[in-house]
A and B are shown apart, each in its own frame.
Chain A
Amino acid sequence: MAALTLDDVRHVANLAALELDDRDPEELEALRAELSAILEFMADLDAVDVTGVEPTAHPFPMASPLRPDEVLDVVPRERLMAAAPRTQDGAFAVPKVLEGDS
């Protein structure tokens, strides 16, 4: 588990849609160092022998319950969209999407 580079930090920020202030290199470096230190601490896990052990995705072995195929009326549209930053003609208005697919 190697330490993070600044490029790593930028890549991760990009994946997470977070902005990094490139104008302040000191702050960027501080973030890098901080994240690195935390990740280095995770090397602690190397000490654990996990041969033959399955990962736990859910605490107890469960099978998902299934829902019957019924239409349920939950909440009226106006209430659901009341918190929208912007709407138009009943749709959510968002900054323009440039790709052609839909």
Chain B
Amino acid sequence: MSEATKSALSSVSWTELSIAEQAARVSRGELSAVELCRHYLTRIERLDVALRSFLHVDAEGALAQAAAVDAARAAGEALGPLAGVPLSLKDNLCTRGLATSCASRILEGYIPPYDAHVVERLREAGAVILGKSNLDEFAMGSSTENSAFGASKNPWDPKRVPGGSSGGSAAATAARLAAASLGSDTGGSVRQPAAYCGVTAIKPSYGRVSRYGLVAFASSLDQVGPIARDVADAATLLGVIAGHDRRDATSVEREVPDYAAECGRDPKGLRVGVVREAIEGCEASVRAAIETAMEALSGLGCELVEVELPNASHSIAAYYIIAPAEASSNLARFDGMRYGLRVAADDLAATYRKTRSQGFGAEVRRRIMLGTYALSAGYFDAYYLKAQRVRTRIRQDFDAAFERCDLLLTPTAPTVAFESGAHADPLSMYKQDIFTLPASLAGVAALSMPCGLGEAGLPVGLQLSAPAFEEAPMIRMAHALERQLGVLPLTPPGYGGEA
């Protein structure tokens, strides 16, 4: 068999390799990082027209990074745990020298002068950055329809949304246009798109991963999270990006366990709390898939208990006051003075107004208005302070629930991926976040994994959450459940690894 044939045959399965295996093969010289990178770039060129998951593809930069990995290997240097692994990054993560637009006209063409902390970690680990993924503008949204540069599609069905705000990251990962991706989660923005696209994502505990270089949406909620094809890959990525960073005062100084090593460990003995209200509150096909998963859990020797999060239903109201309030302040720096769009106008005040009104899309402007109102004199106590108190109650609910179980289980979203335009009314869109919001408000760890196919053959996501900094047992459980369910590999039709 010729080398070319061998190569052609084996490249079919490169996209099915775990990222650990990709890195291992690159490190052993069995797989050229440049070849691997080219393979993904070719797929992007061919398939992303239909998905629009990428905002910027940096072919030149990616190939140069890959070549550097290959050269290092040839020189006998030690390579990192992600050597040659091609990744995409949500376009609200600052990448030095590479456009970072946050899917907004106000940052169109903006090139950061520095790398986000997580990007530094990825580069140190030898990863190759293919480009930046589409998102809802400034991470505000649950469908990626709010991108100023066009919506992304769900690879399972182009009439449907990939979810949001990290829709581009989830779509690219599901379609094998990147080995994995980093997104950001404020109210469910890695978990829900993962659920809609049939991939796995982790929202780390607040403070687990540095926010330095993540363009802030809601500072007390934002976390960078991995989106990958399975639990093992998500765990591998989390292990690379987690840990203390002196440049982020909210980043915690706690040891990072070996998350990847949790995969394959026996979860027996872990108690799983089921939030019955959540399961009953969702669409029939979602419920069916979740209940199947619950049976599988019992089969693994894990006790299921019923728990309640009595204040969880109030998380929508609380979140949609707190997040916009913080966002209204975080986005005040986009004023046309030092970077980004500046619209010429008669005077200073007009410059501010025109720049911001033309630069920000409708949803962003809406949230800035809501947030400004919630913080304004006369309303601060009734809205912002009240919402933060309700948030404390929600935290207390989790504390109480975790006294009776080690992990909580809910669906990730009440339905499978919805059709584009289905939730044009903002309020109806906000209500889709009902299951992911509570963990964000409480700051605990959460994970979404596919647990089956539901209505119209679309993926259903299952969410596990764990007490803060207990990602390890959560990963252990998720991995075992993933194996037990045997749902993976999940490949959207037409996006298989055939090049």
Binding site for B on A (CB under 8 A): 1, 4, 8-9, 11-13, 15-19, 31, 34-35, 37-39, 41-42, 44-45, 47-48, 50, 53-60, 62, 64-65, 67, 74-75, 79-86, 92, 94-98
- A-B pairs, 5 with minimum CB distance: A59-B443, A55-B388, A83-B339, A50-B389, A85-B342
Mask of B230-254 contacts with A, CB within 8 angstroms, 1/0: 0000000000000000100110110
Sample of 19 more A-B contacts, CB < 8 Å, known A13-B369, A50-B393:
A8-B373, A12-B376, A19-B357, A44-B316, A45-B390, A50-B392, A55-B385, A56-B392, A57-B220, A58-B250, A59-B468, A60-B468, A75-B114, A83-B113, A84-B338, A85-B342, A94-B348, A94-B351, A96-B348
Query: In this complex, what residue of A is CB-closest to B253?
Result: A65
* Subset of 21 A-B contacts with CB under 8 Å: A1-B383, A9-B369, A12-B373, A15-B376, A19-B354, A34-B366, A39-B370, A42-B321, A45-B387, A48-B311, A48-B389, A59-B443, A62-B252, A65-B249, A80-B113, A81-B338, A83-B113, A85-B339, A92-B337, A94-B348, A97-B348
CB distance from B327 to the nearest CB of A (A): 11
| Smallest beta-carbon distance B471→chain A, Å | 15
Q: B110 touches which one: A1, A17, A83, A97 (CB < 8 A)?
A: A83
Interface of B is mostly: helix
Partner of B389, one of A13, A55, A79, A84: A55
B368 interfacial contact with A, CB 8 Å: yes
Contacts of A83 in B (CB 8 A): 110-111, 113, 338-340
Q: In the complex, how many angstroms separate the beta carbon of A85 from the nearest chain B beta carbon? A: 4
Q: Chain B interface (Cβ within 8 Å of chain A)?
A: 110-111, 113-114, 206-207, 220, 246, 249-250, 252-253, 311, 313-314, 316-318, 320-321, 328, 332, 335-340, 342, 345, 347-349, 351-354, 356-357, 360, 365-366, 368-370, 372-373, 376, 382-383, 385-393, 395, 426-427, 430, 441-443, 468
**With known contacts A38-B320, A80-B113, A19–B366 Cβ distance under 8 A:** no
Q: How far is the CB of B115 from chain A (nearest CB, A)?
A: 11
CA distance A79 to B313 in the complex (A): 47
Which residue of chain B has its CB nearest to the CB of A8? B373
Bound Cα distance A38, B345 (Å): 32
Q: Are B395 and A59 in contact (CB under 8 A)?
A: yes
Contact A48 B314 (CB under 8 A): yes
What's the nearest-Cβ distance from chain B to residue A69, in Å?
14
Greatest chain B CB density within 10 A among A4, A16, A92 is at: A16
Q: Are A41 and B351 in contact (CB under 8 A)?
A: no
Question: For A47, A48, A56, A98, which residue has the most chain B Cβ atoms within 10 angstroms?
Answer: A56
- Given the complex of chains A and B, what is the CA–CA distance between A34 and B111 in angstroms? 35
Contacts of A75 in B (CB 8 A): 113-114
Query: A16's contact among B206, B336, B368, B426, by CB below 8 Å, is which?
Result: B368
Do B369 and A50 touch (CB < 8 A)?
no
A50 to B391, CA, bound (A): 10
For residue B186, give the distance in angstroms from its CB to the closest CB of chain A: 13
- B360: which A residues are within 8 A, CB to CB? 18
Instruction: Write the nearest CB–CB distance from A60 to chain B, whole angstroms.
Output: 6
A52, closest chain B residue (CB): B389
A45→B317 CA distance, assembly (Å): 7
- Please tell me if the beta carbons of A95 and B328 are within 8 angstroms of each other in the complex: no
Report how far A1 CA is from B332 CA in the complex, Å.
26
Q: Is the CB of B250 within 8 A of A47?
A: no
Q: Which residues of the partner chain A approach B250 to less than 8 Å between Cβ atoms? A: 58, 62
Q: Give the distance in Å from the alpha carbon of A64 to the alpha carbon of B253 in the complex.
A: 12
Complex formed: what's the CA distance from A50 to B336 in Å?
A: 41
Residues of B within 8 Å of A95, CB to CB, are 345, 347-348, 351
Asked if B392 and A45 make an inter-chain contact with CB atoms under 8 angstroms apart, the answer reads no
Closest chain B CB from A65 CB (angstroms): 6
**Complex: A61 Cα to B270 Cα, angstroms:** 27
Asked whether B389 lies within 8 Å of A53 as measured between CB atoms, the reply is: yes
- What residues of chain B lie closer than 8 Å to A67, measured between beta carbons? 246
Q: In the complex, what residues of B have CB within 8 A of residue A58's CB?
A: 220, 250
Q: Is the CB of B427 within 8 A of A57?
A: no
Distance of A38 Cα from B448 Cα, bound (Å): 28
List the B side residues contacting A57 at CB < 8 Å: 220, 388
User: Is the pair B113, A18 in contact by a Cβ cutoff of 8 Å?
Assistant: no
Given the complex of chains A and B, what is the CA–CA distance between A64 and B207 in angstroms? Answer: 12
Q: Which residue of B lies closest to A11 (CB)?
A: B376
Chain B residues lying within 8 Å of A17, measured Cβ to Cβ, are 332, 335, 349, 352-353, 356
On whether the beta carbons of B353 and A48 are closer than 8 Å, the reply is no
Bound-state CA distance A14–B340 (Å) is 21
Query: Which of A47, A95, A97 has its CB near the most chain B CB atoms (within 10 A)?
Result: A95
Q: How far is the CA of A65 from the CA of B207 in the complex (A)?
A: 13
How far is it, in angstroms, between the C-alpha of A86 and the C-alpha of B113 when the chains are bound? 17
Residues of A within 8 A of B369 (CB): 9, 12-13, 16, 18, 31, 35
Separation in Å of the B312 CB from the closest CB of chain A?
11
Q: When the two chains form their complex, are residues B207 and A96 in contact, meaning their CB atoms are under 8 A apart?
A: no
Closest chain-A Cβ to B390's Cβ sits at a distance in Å of 5
Verify A39–B373 contact, CB threshold 8 A.
yes
